[in-house]
């Protein structure tokens, strides 16, 4: 199966994508992770992308499209894949459908102010990359439960940057919902619940509409 996960920044796409990919044995393709790897390596692409991301802007289509087209040709995508963070524009979606079929696009929907609050609480382990939601009323120092490293806030999680990213999403990415809806590929999911509640709603959506998947799922 070839799936797309849509939704605003902070909607929990990365978390849910990992759960979906594990349950259905799909390759999880995160353009955010791919870009962060380029940034960490300080490649020319990474240096260019870092400035754009920290300003809340989108990385140009040509860069992202090329990365994704190369990635889905890898052997681990033969059983299917889940795209997380791509496409974000109509141009990206049209290019994607020229070089790959898509079975479904799932949109996780969360109110803007809930997202701002979520991302203000998000912390990331710089070593093992695990993500946490912390209680910022309890202090400003938090540590990874896996490796003990001090957790850090991402630069693009600052409230002013988040609000700008949401504006960019509404302007440039929201039209994708209409694009995939018009092709009868869109399903909507309420992302306001707990991680497990949202995941179960997604699983129910897939397995209710595609009962044959149940035989392949290890519950």
Q: pLDDT for 162-206, tens place per residue? A: 999 899 888 888 899 999 999 999 999 999 889 999 999 999 998
Which fold would CATH assign to domain 2-110+159-216? Rossmann fold (3.40.50)
What is the distance between the alpha carbons of residues 58 and 170, in angstroms, rounded to a whole number? 12
> At residue 215, does pLDDT exceed 60?
no
Mind telling me the catalytic residues?
13, 88, 122, 154, 165
Q: Which pLDDT band, with edges at 50, 70 and 90, does 32 fall under?
A: confident
Mean pLDDT within 31-36? 83
Q: Which pLDDT band, with edges at 50, 70 and 90, does 87 fall under?
A: very high
> At residue 127, does pLDDT exceed 80?
yes
- The pair phi, psi for residue 169, each rounded to 5°, is -60, -50
Mean pLDDT within 62-90? 90
Contacts of 210 (CB under 8 A, 6+ apart): none
**How many angstroms from the chain centroid is the CA of residue 13?**
4
Residues of the chain with CATH 3.40.50.300: 2-110+159-216
Percentage of the chain modeled with pLDDT above 90: 42
């Amino acid at each position: 199966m070839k799936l797309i996960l849509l939704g605003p920044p902070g909607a929990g796409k990365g978390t849910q994508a990992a759960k979906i990919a594990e349950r259905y044995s799909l390759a999880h393709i995160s353009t955010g992770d791919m870009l962060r790897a380029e940034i960490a390596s300080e490649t020319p692409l990474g240096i260019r992308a870092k400035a754009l991301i920290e300003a809340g802007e989108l990385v140009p289509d040509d860069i992202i499209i090329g990365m994704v087209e190369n990635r889905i040709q890898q052997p681990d995508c033969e059983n299917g894949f889940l795209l997380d963070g791509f496409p974000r524009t109509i141009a990206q979606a049209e290019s994607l459908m020229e070089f790959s079929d898509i079975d479904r696009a799932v949109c996780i929907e969360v109110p803007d102010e809930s997202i701002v609050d979520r991302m203000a609480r998000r912390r990331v382990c710089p070593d093992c990359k695990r993500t946490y939601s912390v209680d910022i009323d309890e202090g400003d120092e938090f540590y990874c439960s896996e490796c003990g490293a001090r957790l850090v806030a991402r630069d693009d999680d600052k409230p002013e940057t988040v609000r700008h990213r949401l504006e960019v999403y509404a302007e440039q990415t929201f039209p994708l919902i209409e694009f995939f809806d018009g092709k009868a590929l869109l399903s909507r999911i309420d992302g306001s619940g707990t991680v497990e509640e949202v995941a179960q709603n997604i699983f129910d959506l897939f397995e209710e509409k595609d009962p044959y998947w149940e035989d392949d799922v290890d519950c």
